[in-house]
Structure 1
Amino acid sequence: MDIKPLRYFLAIAKNASFTRAAEQLNVAQPAVSMAIKKLETELGLTLLHRADRKISLTDEGKRLLLHAEKIIQATDDALLEMNELRGLNQGEVRVGIPSMLGSYYFPPILMAFRHRHPTINLKVIEGGTWQLQKMLEDGELDLSVIVAETLPEGLETHRLLKEEMRVTVAKDHPFSQLESITPDAFFDEELVMFKEGYFHRRVVDRLARETGKSPKIGFETNLIPLIKSITQQGFGVSTLLSMVVEGDDQLISRPFNPPIWLDLGIAWRKGAYLSQANQAFLDFVCKQGHDSENR
């Protein structure tokens, strides 16, 4: 089987459109249509529903998609490894980093890596932990930082650091007079939260379920400066990693009772070939995490 029609099929499945798939592949739409028609003829199966210009996968198409994703990924890994054996290092790292870590933990690491490896191109994608994890599993990222609560079977991970989630309030908030904050007391307050999909929000949602409380969310935003500003002005309370509030004299942070600690790691697809650039980045980041824990 020619692999090119599988690439076309995968692009159509992801875009639900022949036109958008052709644009993504940078080929003419008739070429995409002909390739898919030939693939269906070769397999003796209908892979796509084409009713009313709405493209969707048939049951047979859904089954093929599972194989196509693995075949394309394995082929790309093989080509990359063969190129590197000929000395053709692509020199690109695609890494996903959640916003809190991207703003407070990773900037000096990224700059130090860039200084050591100036020819390697760093492509940093910011997003929610679970969105980044899905992109990693789909091959859209090479590496991603994750919260290592439950590790999917298809990923491997290396622990970077352990960080505490702390209740964050304005300086004149009553919580500032307490040594620690119970989940019950936290959920009695109006909250300033990240949107769903970010580990910050998932930790709070899980804590609410365990406590039997319904969070009273007054503000939702993924902008850390805005979360801090709203909290500082007394319009709600939040919870942020200790690294985010450390040294901020405009906010007060207190631990939960009991404390909430998160294991943060960097992950990659199990069995996938890591390019020389990705392996160099992984080794560098893991060493920084090891050094920070030993300080």
Structure 2
Amino acid sequence: MSDFRLKVFRSVAKNLSFTKASQELFVSQPAITKHIQELESTYQTRLFDRQGSKISLTEAGKLLLEHCDRILEDYKRLEYEMHLLNNEYMGELRLGASTTIAQYVLPPLLASFIKKFPQVNLSLMNGNSREVEVALQEHRIDLGLVEGVFRLPNLKYTTFLEDELVAVVRTKSKLFIADEIAPEELLNIPLVLRERGSGTLDVIERALLQHNIKLSSLHVLMYLGSTESIKLFLENTDCMGIISIRSICKELAAGTFRVVEIKAMSMLRDFCFVHQQGQESGLVQAFIQFAMHHNRKL
């Protein structure tokens, strides 16, 4: 029911590109231009300044963008609540999840949700925790699922699952590392860790500081952008990784990796839902409730 021209305008305004909006919405570029021209004709004002190949929002465009986000959110809420009268769940739900959650937690949950609510149009953006929070603030997603210990004051976080990070090496590694080590021994062990901005690295850094060890003091061979990359790196290199226990269940069962205990260094964390304060739609709440009900299976 929502005005598609507003979706087009928001996409162009966020990307500052007609081409990117065309790719994002799967609409031809001439159609994108036509929708913007119709809006400018309706309001009798220019919405974008055009300077060569670059565009920028006019004051009128900035004002429309402020209202646009609220209007489209109201349309989504209306669609959800109208269908709810008939016990139906319909509409669009855009999720964003940090890498570990997207790879090892969400897939079975999404499969169950789609099976129960087949008329919900579900999409998933994958990135690290900071990228998910930025996407939420820019209204590119409706609900985020993140890991880590840092919280932004303008966002609401709700814990739904606990996780633990563990140190691992490949079973056939030539490094002599005991099954249990002291935290200070990490200073002499080559490591592969997740990248800056990841919730995983946030937790590791916080745990190290409890023992007066700075991340910059460690011998880090590589910072990699996903847990799967770290696992493949570990399989081919004599070093240690620190990753979610959820990500290595198969490798531990197969004897590919072994866990190294670090004395008195707990690396527990929460997986959290995150959304804009006071802006959760009906579908967002429906998904959160569904996940909470199914979290024992995760």
> TM (normalized to structure 2)?
0.74
> Is the alpha carbon distance of 1:77 and 1:180 closer, same or farther for their aligned partners in structure 2, counting shifts above 3 Å?
farther
Instruction: Note if 1:13 corresponds to 2:16.
Output: no
8 Å CA contact 1:167–1:237 kept in 2: the answer is yes
C-alpha distance in structure 1 between counterparts of 2:116 and 2:275, whole Å: 22
User: Which of 200, 210, 213 is 1:211 aligned to?
Assistant: 213
8 Å CA contact 1:48–1:61 kept in 2: the answer is yes
Summarize the alignment of residues 10-89 of structure 1 with structure 2, pairs less than 5 Å apart: 10-21=10-21, 24=25, 26=27, 28-35=31-38, 37-38=40-41, 41-42=44-45, 48-57=48-57, 61-62=61-62, 65-85=65-85, 89=89
Matched residue, 1:262: 269
RMSD after superposition: 3.8
C-alpha distance in structure 2 between counterparts of 1:69 and 1:166, whole Å: 41
Identity between Structure 1 and Structure 2 (%)? 22
C-alpha distance in structure 2 between counterparts of 1:275 and 1:67, whole Å: 20
* Distance apart, 1:33 and its partner CA: 4.5
* Distance apart, 1:223 and its partner CA: 4.7
C-alpha distance in structure 2 between counterparts of 1:28 and 1:116, whole Å: 35
8 Å CA contact 2:99–2:128 kept in 1: the answer is yes
C-alpha distance in structure 2 between counterparts of 1:188 and 1:36, whole Å: 63
User: Which of 253, 256, 270 is 1:250 aligned to?
Assistant: 256
Letter of the 1:241 counterpart? S
Matched residue, 2:157: 157
8 Å CA contact 2:150–2:202 kept in 1: the answer is no
Deviations 1:193-243 (A, max 9, x none): 334443223444566787334254433444534422322343322110122
Deviations 1:80-139 (A, max 9, x none): 433443666326544333332333333443444455555555434332222223333444
User: Which of 242, 247, 251 is 1:239 aligned to?
Assistant: 242
8 Å CA contact 1:161–1:264 kept in 2: the answer is yes
C-alpha distance in structure 2 between counterparts of 1:181 and 1:110, whole Å: 40
C-alpha distance in structure 2 between counterparts of 1:39 and 1:180, whole Å: 69
Equivalent residues, number: 286
Letter of the 1:274 counterpart? S
Letter of the 1:287 counterpart? H
* Distance apart, 1:260 and its partner CA: 1.7
C-alpha distance in structure 2 between counterparts of 1:76 and 1:116, whole Å: 20
* Distance apart, 1:168 and its partner CA: 1.7
* Distance apart, 1:262 and its partner CA: 0.8
> Is the alpha carbon distance of 1:62 and 1:176 closer, same or farther for their aligned partners in structure 2, counting shifts above 3 Å?
farther
Matched residue, 2:104: 104
> Is the alpha carbon distance of 1:60 and 1:37 closer, same or farther for their aligned partners in structure 2, counting shifts above 3 Å?
closer
Matched residue, 1:271: 278
Gap runs ≥5 in structure 2: none
C-alpha distance in structure 2 between counterparts of 1:38 and 1:237, whole Å: 61
* Distance apart, 1:177 and its partner CA: 0.9
Matched residue, 2:135: 135
8 Å CA contact 1:5–1:39 kept in 2: the answer is no
Instruction: Note if 1:288 corresponds to 2:289.
Output: no
8 Å CA contact 1:165–1:260 kept in 2: the answer is yes
Gap runs ≥5 in structure 1: none
19-28 or 132-141, which deviates more: 19-28
